[in-house]
Amino acid sequence: MLAYLNKKKADYVSYDIDKDDTARREVIKIVGTDDIESLDKLPIVVIGDKVLFGFDEKEIGKYLH
């Protein structure tokens, strides 16, 4: 995922929800559950107001500028 974003020269911020409690709380708000690991939807990508679940290059590419 990060390699893809670097290749696209995209500006991004990456959070490790296992180490960053604030980021974890934000993700819980986005997905609506605190059992994030069971969702099988990681990574969670937020581009502007669009939230994407999982790593799909085509889908992410649509929203990168």
Phi, psi of 9 (to 5 degrees): 55, 40
| Boundaries of every domain in the chain | 2-63
Burial environment of residue 60 by CB neighbours within 10 A (0 to 12, 13 to 18, 19 or more): buried
Percent of the chain with pLDDT over 90: 49
Burial environment of residue 65 by CB neighbours within 10 A (0 to 12, 13 to 18, 19 or more): exposed
Q: What is the pLDDT of residues 17-37, one digit of tens each?
A: 889 999 889 888 888 887 776
Residue 32 structure tokens? 């609506």
Percent of the chain with pLDDT over 70: 92
Per-residue pLDDT at 6 exceeds 90: yes
- Average pLDDT of 58-63? 96
Model pTM score: 0.76
